[in-house]
Copies of this chain bind each other. A is one copy, B any other.
Amino acid sequence: MAQKLTPRSEDFSAWYNEVVLRAELADYAPVRGCMVVRPSGTALWENIQQGLDRRFKATGHQNALFPLFIPMSFFEKEAEHVEGFSPELAVVTIGGGKPLEEPLAVRPTSETIIGHMYAKWIQSYRDLPILLNQWGSVVRWEMRTRLFLRTTEFWWQEGHDVFATAAEAQANALQMLDVYADFAVNDAAIPVIRGRKSESEKFAGAVTSLSIEAMMGDRRALQAGTSHFLGQNFARAFDIKFLDENNELQYAWTTSWGLSTRMIGAIVMVHGDDQGLVLPPKLAPIQAVIVPIWKDEAQKAQVLEAAGRVRAALQATVRVRLDDRDELSPGWKFNDWEMRGVPLRIEIGPRDVEQGQVTLARRDRPGKEGKSSAPEASLVGAVPTMLEAIQSDLYQRALAFREAHTRYPETYEALREAVTDGFAIAWWCGRRDCEAKVKEETTATIRCIPLDQEPGHGQCIVCGEGAAERAVFARAY
């Protein structure tokens, strides 16, 4: 722990990798482009899973488990889907020592195999809607990989819903986007823009793709969750049909929606600082760590007794850990828990014990500013209150940062300048040419067309033609 992190301001990318490795969130695997999610990262992911799963169940979803392998021929049934995913597939050609008659793709996403099963399960309108989610990992053969942000294998959830009408499916795609936004804002303390993807950025096989977009600490955008209205594309490809109330056979309407371990990368990049990770309390596997401080055995006994008492008082309502390791100094422990992003440190030294108090140190405000004393007797109320304040302050800080780096350029030159500093929100005519020009000349892409924008008309920031919507332009992960 002795070595300091590369400062965030100096080399954001190096800082990111160092935090992920040194906070022991993940490590590189001995397989090209793959990662190992270590216990700290997995515990964080499990909290993300719980926060999402609870929301999915509240919207009537159930979980299911579909196969890892998909026959190659399934991909060819949906023209855009095969075009989008074929180049990224990992393919099993040998099974049980013999060449397979039909090679199997390791799933890059499961619309095809789930669509096949839905065709079997759905007969009548009474079988609809089907609302299912799957937790698991998928594989996409990526060229350039980054821990959590882009890896060959990644963990995620994928929801796959089926409806009798287009309107229901569209409402569902929006509902699940809102679930993601609610999770990002309230649990991950990350402000997001809900929007629609441009044609060139949408999911292979979708009619409409929606996403939530967040600003990272280096002012780049990250797509943190997507929700797709698939129209009848997959229903036609996989023969998902139902008898409607008039006894007529109809193709169904489907959606799919996913959020991945990328969210962990977003949490690192939005909240982290030069001391390491900063976790939002709602998701932190350890919300408060108690560090006892002593110099001799007499002090040790006294301090550990108080520390044990504080842990016992808190553990019903707070995920608390007592770091009573003998061989390490308090200063080393402070640094270590800061690196690991624990939101609140509770220091207890001999003087604290004498005065019946503890010292609280907020992770989001390192140094003196974030330190305060609190009577031991007050902690059962004070600690949860402080965790809530940290949660709220992290969100407000991220929001203020995004707002400080969001511009509304009115000329192409101003757009070019704006995307070097963060998000640029500007009128866009909707034409692919204009989008491509910006990408080529600035490397910024259209992240989304925000859903929350006042209706109006303007001139396209690129070509000057009439435009009915504003788009968010930004450099992105």
Q: Decide if A86 is an interface residue (CB 8 Å cutoff).
A: yes
The proximity string for A residues 16-42 relative to B, scoring 1 for CB distances below 8 Å and 0 otherwise, is: 000000000001011110111111011
Q: Decide if A312 is an interface residue (CB 8 Å cutoff).
A: no
Q: Decide if A106 is an interface residue (CB 8 Å cutoff).
A: yes
Q: How many angstroms from the CA of A70 to the CA of B37 in the assembled complex? A: 15
Which residues on the B side are within 8 Å of A29 (C-beta)? 66-67, 113, 117
Known contacts A92-B91, A106-B68; A36 and B117 CB within 8 A of each other: yes
Selected contact of A93 from candidates B37, B94, B137, B153, CB within 8 Å: B94
Cβ A94 vs Cβ B91 within 8 A? yes
How many copies the complex holds: the figure is 2
Cβ B90 vs Cβ A92 within 8 A? yes
Q: How many angstroms from the CA of A116 to the CA of B27 in the assembled complex? A: 12
Which residues on the B side are within 8 Å of A97 (C-beta)? 86-87, 89, 141
Which residues on the B side are within 8 Å of A27 (C-beta)? 117, 120-121
Considering only CB atoms, which chain B residue lies closest to A34 in the complex?
Answer: B67
Cβ B63 vs Cβ A42 within 8 A? yes
Give the shortest distance, in Å, between A71 (CB) and chain B (any CB): 6
The proximity string for A residues 61-74 relative to B, scoring 1 for CB distances below 8 Å and 0 otherwise, is: 01111111111001
Cβ B31 vs Cβ A70 within 8 A? yes
Which residues on the B side are within 8 Å of A94 (C-beta)? 89-91, 93, 103
Q: How many angstroms from the CA of A66 to the CA of B90 in the assembled complex? A: 17
Cβ A30 vs Cβ B113 within 8 A? yes
Cβ B36 vs Cβ A66 within 8 A? yes
Q: Decide if A374 is an interface residue (CB 8 Å cutoff).
A: no
Which residues on the B side are within 8 Å of A65 (C-beta)? 36-37, 41-42, 45, 137, 155
Q: Decide if A466 is an interface residue (CB 8 Å cutoff).
A: no
Most buried by B among A68, A103, A104, A137: A68
Known contacts A87-B96, A90-B92, A92-B92; A31 and B64 CB within 8 A of each other: no
Cβ B87 vs Cβ A35 within 8 A? no
Which residues on the B side are within 8 Å of A67 (C-beta)? 29, 31, 34-36, 153
The proximity string for A residues 125-146 relative to B, scoring 1 for CB distances below 8 Å and 0 otherwise, is: 0100000100011010101000
Which residues on the B side are within 8 Å of A30 (C-beta)? 71, 74, 113, 116-117
The proximity string for A residues 420-453 relative to B, scoring 1 for CB distances below 8 Å and 0 otherwise, is: 0000000000000000000000000000000000
Cβ A39 vs Cβ B69 within 8 A? no
Q: How many angstroms from the CA of A147 to the CA of B406 in the assembled complex? A: 54
Cβ B137 vs Cβ A68 within 8 A? yes
Q: How many angstroms from the CA of A113 to the CA of B29 in the assembled complex? A: 8
Which residues on the B side are within 8 Å of A143 (C-beta)? 96
Cβ A95 vs Cβ B86 within 8 A? no
Give the shortest distance, in Å, between A125 (CB) and chain B (any CB): 12
Which residues on the B side are within 8 Å of A32 (C-beta)? 95
Q: How many angstroms from the CA of A39 to the CA of B37 in the assembled complex? A: 27
Considering only CB atoms, which chain B residue lies closest to A285 in the complex?
Answer: B62
Known contacts A90-B95, A93-B94, A95-B141; A39 and B62 CB within 8 A of each other: yes
Most buried by B among A89, A91, A132, A143: A91
Q: Decide if A43 is an interface residue (CB 8 Å cutoff).
A: yes
Cβ A42 vs Cβ B66 within 8 A? no
Selected contact of A63 from candidates B31, B46, B71, CB within 8 Å: B46
Give the shortest distance, in Å, between A406 (CB) and chain B (any CB): 35
Q: Decide if A323 is an interface residue (CB 8 Å cutoff).
A: no
Q: How many angstroms from the CA of A88 to the CA of B117 in the assembled complex? A: 26
Cβ B64 vs Cβ A39 within 8 A? yes
Selected contact of A69 from candidates B34, B38, B42, CB within 8 Å: B34
Q: How many angstroms from the CA of A32 to the CA of B69 in the assembled complex? A: 10
Q: How many angstroms from the CA of A96 to the CA of B63 in the assembled complex? A: 30
Most buried by B among A67, A70, A86, A97: A67
Give the shortest distance, in Å, between A296 (CB) and chain B (any CB): 24
Q: List 28 A-B contacts (CB under 8 A).
A: A27-B120, A29-B117, A30-B113, A31-B67, A34-B69, A35-B67, A36-B64, A36-B65, A36-B67, A38-B64, A41-B65, A42-B62, A42-B63, A42-B65, A46-B63, A67-B153, A68-B106, A68-B153, A69-B153, A86-B97, A87-B97, A89-B94, A89-B95, A89-B96, A90-B94, A91-B95, A92-B106, A96-B141
